[in-house]
Amino acid sequence: MPSEAGVPRRTVLTALGAASLAGTLAAATPAGAAALTGTAPSAAAADLPAAAAHWTFDEGSGTSAADSSGNGRTATLQGAAGWDTGKVGAHSLSLTAGGNAAASGPALDTSKGFSVGAWVNLAQLGGYQTAVSIDGKVVSAFYLGLRDDTGTFAFARLDSDATQSAAVAAAASAPTTGTWTHLVGVSDPAAGVIRLYVNGVLEGETAYTAGWAGSGDTAIGRALYGGGHVDQWHGLVDDVWMFPSVLTSDQVAALAGVPVETTTPLLSVDVGTPAHAVSPILPGLMFEDINHSGEGGIYAELVQNRSMMASDTTPVHWSAVGGTTLALDTATPLNAALNRSLKVALPSSVGAGDRAGVANDGFWGIPVRPGTAYTARLFAKASRRIGPLTVAIESADGATVYASAHVSHIGTAFPDRPFELTLRTGSSTPVVGDARLTVTTADPAAAGETLWLQHVSLFPPTYNNRPNGLRIDLMDKLVALKPKFLRFPGGNFLEGNTIATRFNWKNTIGPVWERPGHMDDAWGYWSTDGLGLLEYLEWVEDMHAQPVLAVFAGYSLKGEHVTGDALKPFIQDALDEIEYVTGPVTSTWGARRAADGHPEPFPLEYVEIGNEDWFDSSGSYNERFAAFYDAIKAKYPHLKLIASTSVTSRTPDLIDEHYYLAPSAAQASTHKYDNRDRNSTKVFVGEWAAQEGRPTPDLNAALGDAAWLAGLIRNSDQVLMECYAPLFSHVKNNVWATNLIAYDNLTSYVSPSYWAQHMLTSRLGNTVLPATARALPGLATVATRSGNRLYLAVVNSGTEKLSVPVELKGLAKGVKRQATATVLTGPSRTTTNTLTEPDTLVPRTSTVTGAAKSFTSTVPPLSVTVLELVLT
Ligand code: AHR
């Protein structure tokens, strides 16, 4: 018997405290390398425990398959079931449409520990195909076979005998047709897991504690779901074993007929033969105005509803000071865009020290800091010349003035340009989040008069001191990610609920007081469009990134869409937009850009046509994409055009795929692109996130994100670009649950997912190295190299410390003993960062020793680790 009989061989050591992070590498065990090439004698059947059933399918004729375990579970062939050449012995069971073999009753008790093994050979890929199962009443008690959702072999169980989602131990390797593969599923209630072994190697393991007894027949070549026979197996099945016990990994190796040494855990990295280049434009950012990401977010404007356009009936966010009466006045517009103003009826009490005017409450308060210069801009006029007009940042109750400035006089007409004032706080001004902005007068001449205000704006210092600019703390966090691109302006924000509320870029350029703004009805608030096309482009410029410009493509969220001639103006809008971005100052729209303050054209390579057009149930995207494609390519043949869903009318340069996943699904999807047809259209994963945590992801989601991103990097010959979404949430307006970065009006923090992405994209080489993880279920990895630096990322989503034997193949010389380990980990899956505790989860970098051609890396539970090794 194997020395560890009854105990699966595992890489799991003991639970790890945070203090154990030091010394991540342990010296290599010489046996680790030797195990790669060694051969072991095949295990004898005597090594296996007593079986509950065993069908050899060696009969080769007739409709019965005997049970050689001696338990009398003869299986009867039904439908299109027959015989073919065997993998073990002379014959196997051959199944096509509707064919299966079934033995009466359950061959074993699935509420207890059990194992089931079979040789399988697929005639076709795709769909759910179950090789072995035991019926319940509604669903099978287990499924061993191929799954459609993972696209891999898997062992799956449901929590009860009812239609519901399954716990899935999925393979890490891709299935192929016409080859024999050995599968073993193990249900281990004592360990609380189910496992899948492929060709003797542990490839999948997932938590499962339910355990219930299937009371129906034992089936080979089909399953039960929703009370019906499903999951037809197409191909061959041979040598099916059922054991009423939990097989050890050595016993599984014996059953598969492979040397034990070839099934031990190993992470093998081929240093000498890079797989392909890391896409040079892989990591980017996606932005749309959601959760007050723009208004009240990165767009630094502090006044909410500065343009009085947010409501047609009420001057929302404005309140009376000193007994004034407020109203929206459409008879007194500022201009055609801001076609109304705030009318302030001043009381007769004004004067003699009594002030009157208005206050704005900002985005959940106006933030105040000491030693800071704020810029106010406003249009004001009155029914007679009055002055001074005081603009102040003051406490919510008006008792404390933090900063103020004055317009000496205002006349009876709006000026051509806004009054501009600087308000400075003193060095001892407190940090306050709930201040207000007031505009008042105490001029006795104003008593009983009327004041009109429009475009009342207040900016703090901005990133790169841009006058209509962005919040510094948020920009710092983005710049630290070194994004290669910014995808903007959406997302649903691009589309609008209706065509009228789309991002109409022509309304977002020019002086901000000439922009009408629009309802961001996808996310429920007013957009001044102060963050307009030019501001997006300057944002990109400030990050040293490139734009991925999403153009409106004639479809809005609620289904409104246009085709044919009606689409032409939108195509022209897109062409004009591209000209505004890239055209010389001699072009119409290039000249507009220059007039707006940016004569230099912006670089542009990628344009996305629409957003998530799979929602267009009318099926018009094929036609719409072709129309945009033809027009844009005719004028700008060098531009790469991204389709927002699959199209057949034209071949897009890239296709945008979006994935919002549960953390466990994100972890499991690390292999999603591994087996992609390398000749198919390249992918832009333009939105993705493991969703858990509000307003930002918790550690569990970050682990899912890291595993998913590792897969994208590994496959960055296919996935050329990726960006997480959404990027931002204001903590007071968290309409979309899980976002990368959150903030209030004063401070901001980053999530563990931010750190995971930062780790994987900042410690990244320029070529991907082939890396194979064997018998390391749940571990996601990616290895890259630049020159003499090798970066090995390992994501351990499990709750136990893992000891990972690493082998570096193809080394020209060696590797320095000293390496750097950067680790992100935390005590539980739900641990997270918050506004008040922003640094609970941050990566820690330390020097470790013990790196060698073969070494063992010990990774903490629930962790992302990036090792930086120096090749000699
Ligand atoms: O990222 C949030 C939303 O999710 C985007 O606006 C949309 O494209 C997707 O459905």
The CATH number of the domain holding residue 637 is: 3.20.20.80
- Asked if 70 and 177 sit in the same domain, the reply is yes
User: What's the predicted TM-score (pTM) here?
Assistant: 0.90
Residues 641 and 706 in one domain: yes
Least confidently predicted of 40-44, 111-115, 393-397: 40-44
**Residues 554 and 681 both lie in one domain:** yes
CA of 489 to the centre of ligand 1 (A): 11
- For the chain, what percent of residues have pLDDT higher than 70? 95
In this structure, the answer to whether residues 448 and 510 fall within a common structural domain is no
pLDDT band at 150 (very low <50, low <70, confident <90, very high): confident
**Quick one: 438 and 338 in the same domain?**
yes
- Determine, yes or no, domain membership for 828: no
Q: Based on the domain organization, do 516 and 627 belong to the same domain?
A: yes
The tens digit of pLDDT for each residue in 243-266 reads: 999 999 999 999 999 999 999 999
Query: From CA 521, how far away is CA 518, in angstroms rounded?
Result: 9
Domain termination residue (choose one: 258, 276, 292) = 258
Task: Specify the amino acid at residue 562.
Answer: V
C-alpha to C-alpha distance for 95 and 240, rounded to whole angstroms: 14
Domain boundary among 678, 710, 742: 710
**Digit-coded pLDDT (tens) for 334-361:** 999 999 999 999 999 999 889 999 999 9
Residue-level pLDDT at 352: 82
Q: SS in 3 state form for 72-99?
A: CCCEEEECCEEEEECCCCCEEEEECCCC
Residue 40, domain member (yes or no): no
Q: Are residues 434 and 493 in the same domain?
A: no
Give the 3-state secondary structure of residue 9: coil
pLDDT one-digit tens code per residue, 105-145: 999 999 999 999 999 999 999 999 999 999 999 999 999 99
Cα 491 to ligand 1 centroid, rounded to whole Å: 5
Element (H, E) at 240: strand 235-243
Count the domains in the chain: 3
pLDDT band at 8 (very low <50, low <70, confident <90, very high): very low
Same domain (yes/no): 441, 341: yes
Q: Does residue 611 line the site of ligand 1, with CB under 6 A? A: yes
pLDDT beyond 80 at 78: yes
- The verdict on 506 and 384 lying in the same domain is no
Task: Tell me whether residue 72 is in a domain.
Answer: yes
Which residue range forms the structural domain that includes residue 627?
485-693+700-710
Percent of the chain whose pLDDT exceeds 90: 91
Residue 273 lies in a domain: no
Same structural domain, 501 and 643: yes
- 306 has pLDDT over 90: yes
pLDDT tens by residue, 483-516: 999 999 999 999 999 999 999 999 999 999 999 9
Q: Residue whose CA is closest, atom 8 of ligand 1? A: 491
687 close to ligand 1 (CB < 6 Angstrom) = yes
Counting ligand 1 atoms within 8 A of each CB, the residue from 290, 292, 492, 735 with the most, and so the one to mutate, is: 492
Query: Is 4 a residue whose pLDDT tops 80?
Result: no
What is the DSSP code (8-state) at residue 217?
-
Pairing status of strand 341-345 against strand 546-551: unpaired
Strand order from edge to edge, sheet including 285-286: 285-286, 485-488, 546-551, 606-609, 640-643, 654-661, 682-690, 719-722
Would the CB of 752 count as within 6 Å of ligand 1? no
Same domain as 665, residue 572:
yes
Are residues 515 and 555 located together in one domain of the fold? yes
CA 632 – ligand 1 centroid, Å: 25
Using the mean position of ligand 1's atoms as its centre, give its distance from the Cα of residue 492 in Å.
Answer: 6
Ligand 1 mutation pick, 290, 609, 616, 658, max ligand atoms within 8 A of CB:
658
Last-in-domain residue among 643, 676, 710 = 710
pLDDT of residue 174: 82
Whether residue 738 lies inside any domain: the answer is: no
Ramachandran angles phi, psi of 548, nearest 5°: -110, 100
Residue 6 covered by a domain = no
What local confidence, expressed as pLDDT, does residue 24 receive?
Answer: 42
- Ligand 1 test: best mutation among 286, 288, 289, 614, most atoms within 8 Å of CB? 288
Provide the 10 A C-beta neighbour count for residue 125. Answer: 15
Dist. CA 549 → ligand 1 center (Å): 16
The whole-angstrom separation of Cα 286 and Cα 727 is 6
Looking from the CA of residue 736, the nearest atom of ligand 1 is 2
